Amino acid sequence: MSRVTRTRDPVSRLPVPDRVERVFAEDEASDEVSRFQLERLRELVDAARA
């Protein structure tokens, strides 16, 4: 007998294609943030060197 574990995560209750889309969207959003932080960090390093 398999045990079903309940989760509070609303994403897990979505149909699979929607869940995949949501994960990709979140991943892309975090990439955007990382890119922004990287650019900001470069600016700070350049300013510190100057």
Tens-digit pLDDT profile for residues 1-50: 556 565 566 666 666 777 677 777 777 777 877 888 889 999 999 999 98
How confident is the model at residue 26, as a pLDDT? 77
How confident is the model at residue 12, as a pLDDT? 66
How confident is the model at residue 30, as a pLDDT? 79
* Angstrom distance (rounded) from CA 26 to CA 45: 29
Angle at 16 between CA 6 and CA 35, to 5 degrees: 100
Q: What share of the chain is helix, strand, coil (3-state, %, to 5)?
A: 75, 0, 25
How confident is the model at residue 25, as a pLDDT? 75
How confident is the model at residue 9, as a pLDDT? 65
How confident is the model at residue 43, as a pLDDT? 93
Report whether 29 contacts 37 (CB < 8 A): no
